[in-house]
Structure 1
Amino acid sequence: MKKNNNLIGWFCTYVPEELIHAAGFTPHRILPYNEGSRKDKYLPPNFCPYVRNIIEKIEQDKNSFEGLIVANSCNAMLHLYNVVKENFDLPVHLLHVPRLNTKAACEYFAFQIKNLKIFLENINGNVTTESLAETIKLYHKTAEILKNNWPHLNLAFPLKIASDYSTDVFDFFDDLYYSDRCGFNSRLENTNFSALSAEKVEDENDKYKNEDSNDYILLEGALPSKSLLNMISNEIEEEIIMDNCLSNRYLVSQRTSNLTDIYNTAQNLDDLLYYLASIYLNKPSCPRIFSSSNERTEIFSSLLNNYNIKAVIYHKLSFCDFSNYEYLRLKNLIQHTYNNKIPILKINTELEEQESGQFKTRLDAFLEMIE
C-alpha cells in the first residue's frame, strides 16, 4: 500500500464509517486477507485467526494510516487493541459497543461515538453538522441502490449482485470498501443488475419462497477468506446468498427506514450522532449482540422461511466461540424445526489459502450429495 496519511483503518461493522468520512479522512476497512503468511508474531497460533491476520496486515501497512479504530466486538478484538497500542506508533481508539439494543444502550453508544469524534478531531479531523449530514446521505444511497435490486438486503446479500458488478466478485467488495463512495454509487447505478428477484418480489415484506423461485445456497457464519468465497462461487451453480459482516450486515446499517424520522428531524450534531447510534444498533445483529436470547435464531428462521434454501454452508472460524455457538444454534434449528431436511456443511478455517484444496474436496462431495 502506498503512503496515504489520510487513511483511518477500521475492522468491525459497528464502527460508524460515516463519521470517519465526515471528519475528512478516508475510511479503510482492514480485512484479514493476508493468506498463506506467518501470523503468530504477537499472538499465539491457537488464537483467533481473524485478529492474527489483521495484526500482520497492520504491521505491513502501519505507515499508511493516520489512526485505527477497534470496536470491542469480542475478547480477541480487545487483544488486537492492546497489541496495536503496545507495539505500533499509531493513534488507536477503542470504541465500546453495547451488547444490548435498548434506548439506554443507544444513548450510551451515542456517547461513545461522540468520544470517537473527539479522537478523530485530535488527529486533525473536523466533523460538522453539515459534513456528517451529507456523508450519511452519501452512504445511505449505496444501500438504497442495492435494495432497489434486492429488497431483502436486511436478510441476506445475493452474490449475484457482485458478479453482475464484475466478473471477479471481489471487485465489488474492493470497490465497496476502498474506492471513492460517490464514484462507487455512480458505478452501481450504471450496472445492469440481473432481474435476480425483481420480477418475483416488489416489496421487502414479500417472500421469495414460491414454486417459481430459484433454489439458494446459504453461506452463513464468519467472514470468508477470498479463496473460500471464490471457490464457492466458482463451484456452485445455484444462486448464493450470504449473511455475514462482509455484505448485508455492513450494508444495511446504512439504511434503516423506520429511523428516517430521527434523521429528518435532527437539529444539531448530537442528534446526528444519536441517529448513527440508532442505525448501527438496529441493523441485523451479529452473534455478539444480545438484544434478546432468540434474535439470532429468528434471523435464521427468516432466512430459511423466506427462501428456497437447498443447503447451507457454514463457515466456522477456528478458536472463535461466537462462531461455534452460532453453528450449534443453526444446526439445532434445522434439526428440530425442519427435521434435518436442509443439508448443512460446516467448513472450519483459519483463513489460509492452502486450506482450499481439502475444502474443495469436501464441497464437491457435499454438492454431489444434494443433487
Structure 2
Amino acid sequence: MALSAGHRRVSGVVVPIEAGDASSRLEQLRRSGQVPLVLDKRWPAQVRAGILSLLARTPLPAGAEWAALTSGSSAAPRVVVRTHASWASSFPAVERLLGTRPGDAVLLPAPPSSSLTLFSLAHALAGGPAPEFAATSSRATLFHGTPTHFGAILASDGAPQLRAALVGGMTLPADIRAEALARGIRVVEYYGAAELSFVAYDDDGRGLRAFPGVEIAVRDEVIWARSPYSALGYLGEPGPLRRDGEWVSVGDRGELEDGRLRVAGREDEAIQTAGATVIPSEIERTLRTLDGVADVAVVGLPAPGVGRLVAALIEPVRPGCLDAAMLRAAASHLFAPAHRPRLWFAGTIARTSSGKIARAEVERQLSSGEVPRV
C-alpha cells in the first residue's frame, strides 16, 4: 500500500536502522511518524559512532521526513534531511523517463544507506517499482545505480530482463551506454546530489539538460538549480549546500550551452598546483580514453612550494600493462603542463558503498605509500 505524507505526524526523531532491515523497517517507521536513517556496515567504527552521536544530540528541522547520507566520497558522510514531497514530486517524471509498467521491479545494487537507493525504496513505498537487490535477479526490469554497478551488471550478463536504467552518481562512460543500447536497454543518465536530488538528465546520449521541473543556471562556473526537489539541509555542521533565494547549489562546477549542461566536478575537489586550478574529473575523463586504463582517480598530494602535486591512480585493464614512460608521454600530449599528473600509481581504486571514487581514502593511500608507484 502506498504511503502518504499528508496525514502523518513526524516525531522529530531520526531512527538509525541497519541496511539488512531496511526494506521491512522503512515502512514501519514511516507509518509511525519516525524518520529512518539507514546505516552502512562498511563504515569505520569512528565514523559510525560519530553519526550515532550526531543523531542523539541534534533535533530535526521542521518538515523533515527522510534522512539520507551523502556519499562520503571526499569526507565523512553527512546526514541530509528532506521532506517527503521533495522526493515524491519527482516520482512521476522518473516513471515517464523509464517507461515504468505495472509489475516492474528495480535492481538496486548500491546499499540502502546510499541516497540513490533510498530514493527508490521511498518510491516503492509510494507505489513505484518493487526493489530487487540481487545482481543476478531474473525479475528486475529496471535499474537504478552508478555507472560502476551498471557496467558490472552488463559485463556479467546479469539481470537479463532489464528494459531501462537510471544511472547517476558519476559520468556514464560512452562504452557502457553503447553496450546497454545494444542489449535493448533504455538508458537515462542523470546528474544530481544527495542534497539536490535530480538536476539534469540525458536520455539520448547528447548531453544533460534540465530535469523536468528544474531550472539550471551557471554562475561563475558554478551550477545552480531552482527546484522542488532540494533538501532542507543537514543535521549538525553545515555542508556544501548553499542557497540564494529559491536557488540552490552544492558547488559543482560546469558549463551550460544551448540548454546542455557539462559537469566538471565539485569545487572542493579542485587541486591548486603552482598557481593553476585542476579539476580532477576533467583529467580522469581524458585518461580513461587511454588503452590499458580501466579507471582512474586523480587527487592532489601536498608538495612544499607548489601547493599540491597532481597524482593519478590508474586501475589497469590487467596487471603490468602500463608503464610510467607511456603515461607521461600520453599526458604531455593531452594536458597543459600544470594539469599533467606528476605522480603515477597503479592499483585498485577505493570506492564508496555507492560506487563513487572515495577521494579522501585514495589520497590517504597514496600519501602513506600503500599503493605502488608506476
TM-score (norm 1): 0.30
Choose between structure 1 and 2 for higher RCO, CA contacts under 8 A separated by at least 6 residues. Answer: 1
Name the one with the larger strand percent: 2
TM-score (norm 2): 0.29
Name the one with the larger helix percent: 1
